[in-house]
Structure 1
Amino acid sequence: MPGRTPGHRTPLWQQRLRASQLLEIAQGYPDFPVILEILRECLQDVYDLPALERLMRRLNGGEIQISDVTTTTPSPFATSLLFGYVAEFMYQSDAPLAERRASVLSLDSELLRNLLGQVDPGELLDPQVIRQVEEELQRLAPGRRAKGEEGLFDLLRELGPMTVEDLAQRHTGSSEEVASYLENLLAVKRIFPAMISGQERLACMDDAARLRDALGVRLPESLPEIYLHRVSYPLRDLFLRYLRAHALVTAEQLAHEFSLGIAIVEEQLQQLREQGLVMNLQQDIWVSDEVFRRLRLRSLQAAREATRPVAATTYARLLLERQGVLPATDGSPALFASTSPGVYEGVDGVMRVIEQLAGVGLPASLWESQILPARVRDYSSEMLDELLATGAVIWSGQKKLGEDDGLVALHLQEYAAESFTPAEADQANRSALQQAIVAVLADGGAWFAQQISQRIRDKIGESVDLSALQEALWALVWQGVITSDIWAPLRALTRSSSNARTSTRRSHRARRGRPVYAQPVSPLVSYNTPNLAGRWSLLQVEPLNDTERMLALAENMLDRYGIISRQAVIAENIPGGFPSMQTLCRSMEDSGRIMRGRFVEGLGGAQFAERLTIDRWRDLATQATQTRHYTPVALSANDPANVWGNLLPWPAHPATLVPTRRAGALVVVSSGKLLLYLAQGGKKMLVWQEKPQRFSTR
């Protein structure tokens, strides 16, 4: 345990860490008195095992019944258990807090490893870090050398038997001082000489029985009897100590160190691997699990320190490039004044945009007016209709915005489970007509509004008013319950009142020239209103488990924003918030999929990104120092490609007008710099421009 210092308290985490290390050592001794006392205290003093046995017998015999109840607060008995549960996770990632934020979200670590894939752990280690850790473990690094007589004894105890020359290399004293210290240790019989692998080495008395039983070393006859008791796993102990005193070790190295056959060494290493004590890296390289964690953390730290954060404008420029608003060659003199809006083309381009923005709720009025045209240079409404009609793409409502707009998300049908959040079945707040519509659509298939009305009439025996049906259908749309197979209802919803005006009924002449009026319009005609166009169906998506869904969300965010940060998670409204996403990102970092660091200024310290994205940031940061001509881009303020007011705060401006991300507001960005903000309605504008710039034409 950590030594006691008068007037100072030892941190609890340090006591726990040291205690866990001592427990790991004591587990090798089944009769260790402290462990026996702990078991006795738990089984006899803390737990009432006889009472538990009686209770289980009565439950098995039916004398006691178990009833499920739901209460607002835990019972007095459960309260103590709950308090103990919270205390149990105090030093383990704050699991109760994460569960509370994520609605009992759980990540299956085994499934997560399978989803992330297995990479060679050796590829995750920095060669420079390996050399540094090797010197530190071998006590060769500056500040790690031993001091005094006790320091020499600690070297033999921690690193194993060594020659006098090896000991002198690891000690701060002179050769004469080392020789004097060793003579004293030999005189008091704390160490003894031994022939190992043809070399005369010095070993501490605690290793006498291990060396004799594992390697057949001949011991001096004068050794005290207390050091000669048999050891349970002598070769295992020698191998573990050697592995924990080196960064990376090969089987041949172990065989040479202990004069053993390679088959014996490999068999022992496999046993240690099965016990989870060592890891096998590429080819024949072995490492202790403790040392690997140290190497991995130091390698990650070195990689983070090697990265310098780029300016926010560099990230803003990358996001325009990443989301297909500008090509990667923007700013090149060869392409000056020849760049057209958007990077993608055709139906495949629309598919790519939907794949990247899957699940993002945007105003329906913006999708076809600004979002898709900004990325697909030849976009037309027929492209989206084609994808919806073929079933490759579906749309879902998320929130109603006034009477003529709402938040709508697009999803790829094949991967809808990764981006679509099923609506909660809130039967109590649904009207009778809404419940009837859901019941009709639950039978399967997709139906026109006229067919839905007829099926409801067949079930309840009453006709359905057209306006009531329309209101109920759209209420279910904004609840995320139903959808249509075309985009026409959303176009009609967001269309201006002048264009959405219902056509008047016209008269026609009879054969004899008298003007007569047509018969009342049939129900089929009345249900042809654009707001009810298409076939309506339930949004039924097979849900993923928590682990798969969180991994899909993380991959979507990396594709969409190029980075996972606290601001991005808040913008995406991820279940569980940033703590749950950070846990997943650490696993992705351990697997080599992403890196953690401070890559972008203004996004906080916890940022995760892929290596290729980081390299692209560096390229863009280098280009920013060169004189280039960049293309100004006009975007909706709500566009996910606009980082300002979303992932990054709006740049400071002396005006009283506060920019907001509203439908109808526009921004102009060039080379990642925000130049203009045009408020909704076009009556107010903010300008950020220190000096005149030259722009290419669109």
Structure 2
Amino acid sequence: MHGNHDDAHPVEQVAADVLRGYLEISGPRTATALAEECGLGASSVAIGLAVLEQSGFVLQGFFTDPDDPPSPETVEWCSRRLLARMHAYSRTNRRRAVEAVTAQDFMRFLLHWQHVAPESQLRGQHGLRAVVEQLQGYEAAVATWEPEILRARLVDYQPAFLDRLCHDGELTWLRLSPWQAGSDRRSSPSKATPITLAFRSDLPWLLQAARLDHEIEAPTVGATAEIVEALGAKGARFLAELATDTGRLRSDIEEALWDGVARGLLTADGFAAIRFLVGNRRPGPRPVRSVSRRRRGAAGQTAGAGRWALVGDAEAVDDREALAEVVADQLLQRWGVVFRDLAVHEGLAVPWRELQWALRRFEDRGLVCGGRFVAGFSGEQYALPEARDGLHAARRRDRTGERVVVNACDPLNLTGVIVRGARTPAVRTRVVTYIDGLPEASEDALPAFGGASPVS
């Protein structure tokens, strides 16, 4: 006697139940393999897998040979729970296989990773792009960028390289970190004002990472306030136009522009203004004074070279996970290996715990490697695959007394942070000399603080 058809399982549910039981113990399988091993037709397998995927039981991907060219025939299916266990075992085995290097070898690696060590420098405009891509978001004294930081990484650096990228709209410069002084107190031009170079396309998330919900307050009175108002109303303006808009002297405009830079409010479309501030600022020949109030004529060399514009406020962060991932990616590009001490040293507004979760997600996707890469530091560490290989090479490389000198404002001034010893303050007139990754003793160094690691 036939049973009631209402009590019978639909064909797709039967196929799904068969596949569920098999995938719980079998590991990754292609649809073709499942059809052969379970005795089901190809159409039944396709329907059953669709049911299981919709319920969240299985995931599809390329698990066995992820490096092989993907194709519909090689797509594999695996139980979500079993895949999580496999990932955990694989992650544990990979981390155990990592051999930690000393802090000294890590510094030797970084000197090559950031193209400062001999024979590792880059060339040309493409090299400049690579350097900025690695360093963007790091703030250093305005006077050190071209003569110290960029020239240390490019063997043939020319100011025209930077000018071209700025004028083409690829790069910009600005202060990211919030200014701490009172809103109406003017900041005088200073060679120590911290700025960064950045790609304009990355500026939105860089502002978010540095400021989060912190709003930069513009002054309410004075020349800076008038310039901010003019730029907000009319867009980018030259210094001469700002002088006309505000009715102020050029000297007042120049002082106010640099006050806006120090506050993180203003930037210019070129680097000529920076060079004027860094230079000796000696005036050229004075033009004959005009007797008309309206005729201004030539102004000679000026700190306002180029058009000036508002930086703008950081957009509200609506996805903290996405922001943490892009910041973690930037830190990986800069250091190759990321752990808490380096992240805290950056002084970002994004907390380490959020970066840590982002790095864990990268590891789950196979984008980075987790493990103990640098000895002497607690907590989780993550490295790019190419950085892991670079660490191995640094360990094997003979110590020949290689001498590398960097400015104290350079990001590679990691004295007291990575290597044990006194901290050399980030002052533009000082330098740090590394010999085989170890800094020479300096009379200007400050006492070491917590977090420095042993070097042997």
Superposed pair shares fold, TM > 0.5:
yes
Contact 1:252 1:262 (C-alpha < 8 Å) held by counterparts: yes
After superposition, the Cα gap between the structure-2 partners of 1:519 and 1:587, relative to the gap in structure 1 and judged at 3 Å, is closer
Q: Partner of 2:428: helix, strand, or coil?
A: coil
* Alignment correspondent of 1:674: 439
Q: Is residue 633 from structure 1 mapped to residue 404 from structure 2 by the alignment?
A: yes
Identity of aligned residues (%): 26
Q: Report the Cα distance in structure 1 between the residues aligned to 2:156 and 2:38, rounded to whole angstroms.
A: 73
* Alignment correspondent of 1:534: 306
Q: Partner of 2:86: helix, strand, or coil?
A: helix
Q: Give 1:630 shift.
A: 4.8
The aligned amino acid for 1:530 is: T
* Alignment correspondent of 2:66: none
* Alignment correspondent of 1:355: 133
* Alignment correspondent of 1:665: 430
Q: Which moved more, 1:663-672 or 1:342-351?
A: 342-351
Q: Give 1:361 shift.
A: 0.8
After superposition, the Cα gap between the structure-2 partners of 1:527 and 1:246, relative to the gap in structure 1 and judged at 3 Å, is same
> 416, 419, 427: which is aligned to 1:645?
416
* Alignment correspondent of 1:585: 359
Q: Is residue 567 from structure 1 mapped to residue 341 from structure 2 by the alignment?
A: yes
Deviations 1:544-580 (A, max 9, x none): 8645543332222111110222122223333331111
After superposition, the Cα gap between the structure-2 partners of 1:590 and 1:675, relative to the gap in structure 1 and judged at 3 Å, is same
Gaps of at least 5 residues in structure 1 are 1-212, 214-228, 328-338, 457-462, 507-516, 681-689, 691-698
The aligned amino acid for 2:275 is: R
Q: Report the Cα distance in structure 1 between the residues aligned to 2:190 and 2:368, rounded to whole angstroms.
A: 42
Q: Give 1:316 shift.
A: 0.9
Deviations 1:420-474 (A, max 9, x none): 4587655574325433312221244432222112123xxxxxx324444333222
Deviations 1:118-172 (A, max 9, x none): xxxxxxxxxxxxxxxxxxxxxxxxxxxxxxxxxxxxxxxxxxxxxxxxxxxxxxx
Contact 2:166 2:172 (C-alpha < 8 Å) held by counterparts: yes
> 83, 88, 98: which is aligned to 1:307?
98
The aligned amino acid for 1:659 is: T
Q: Report the Cα distance in structure 2 between the residues aligned to 1:492 and 1:521, rounded to whole angstroms.
A: 28
After superposition, the Cα gap between the structure-2 partners of 1:503 and 1:273, relative to the gap in structure 1 and judged at 3 Å, is closer
After superposition, the Cα gap between the structure-2 partners of 1:629 and 1:519, relative to the gap in structure 1 and judged at 3 Å, is same
The aligned amino acid for 1:612 is: E
Q: Give 1:291 shift.
A: 0.8
After superposition, the Cα gap between the structure-2 partners of 1:248 and 1:661, relative to the gap in structure 1 and judged at 3 Å, is same
RMSD: 3.6
Contact 1:666 1:677 (C-alpha < 8 Å) held by counterparts: no
Q: Report the Cα distance in structure 2 between the residues aligned to 1:491 and 1:577, rounded to whole angstroms.
A: 35
> 234, 256, 267: which is aligned to 1:472?
256
Q: Report the Cα distance in structure 1 between the residues aligned to 2:206 and 2:268, rounded to whole angstroms.
A: 18
Q: Report the Cα distance in structure 2 between the residues aligned to 1:594 and 1:557, rounded to whole angstroms.
A: 12
Residues 220-369 of structure 1: pairs in structure 2 closer than 5 A = 236-249=16-29, 260-282=40-62, 283=74, 285-326=76-117, 343-369=121-147
Contact 2:264 2:311 (C-alpha < 8 Å) held by counterparts: yes
> 220, 223, 238: which is aligned to 1:448?
238
The aligned amino acid for 1:323 is: Q
Contact 2:339 2:380 (C-alpha < 8 Å) held by counterparts: yes
Gaps of at least 5 residues in structure 2 are 63-73, 180-186, 446-454
How many equivalent residue pairs?
414
Q: Report the Cα distance in structure 1 between the residues aligned to 2:305 and 2:244, rounded to whole angstroms.
A: 16
Residues 88-487 of structure 1: pairs in structure 2 closer than 5 A = 236-249=16-29, 260-282=40-62, 283=74, 285-326=76-117, 343-398=121-176, 403-405=189-191, 406-421=193-208, 426=216, 429-456=219-246, 463-487=247-271
Contact 2:219 2:225 (C-alpha < 8 Å) held by counterparts: no
Residues 44-123 of structure 1: pairs in structure 2 closer than 5 A = none
Larger RCO (CA within 8 A; separation ≥ 6): 2
Q: Report the Cα distance in structure 1 between the residues aligned to 2:383 and 2:41, rounded to whole angstroms.
A: 46
Deviations 1:169-215 (A, max 9, x none): xxxxxxxxxxxxxxxxxxxxxxxxxxxxxxxxxxxxxxxxxxxx9xx
Tell which structure's C-alpha radius of gyration is larger: 1
Q: Give 1:301 shift.
A: 0.9
After superposition, the Cα gap between the structure-2 partners of 1:377 and 1:658, relative to the gap in structure 1 and judged at 3 Å, is closer
Q: Give 1:296 shift.
A: 0.7
Q: Report the Cα distance in structure 2 between the residues aligned to 1:390 and 1:248, rounded to whole angstroms.
A: 50
Q: Partner of 1:633: helix, strand, or coil?
A: strand
> 263, 268, 281: which is aligned to 1:500?
281
The aligned amino acid for 1:637 is: A
Q: Which moved more, 1:318-327 or 1:297-306?
A: 318-327
Contact 2:401 2:436 (C-alpha < 8 Å) held by counterparts: yes
Contact 2:106 2:391 (C-alpha < 8 Å) held by counterparts: yes
The aligned amino acid for 2:409 is: N
Contact 1:316 1:672 (C-alpha < 8 Å) held by counterparts: yes
Q: Report the Cα distance in structure 1 between the residues aligned to 2:136 and 2:206, rounded to whole angstroms.
A: 6
Deviations 1:609-658 (A, max 9, x none): 111211221122122xx4x5353111112211333334x1x424xxxx75
Contact 1:307 1:599 (C-alpha < 8 Å) held by counterparts: yes
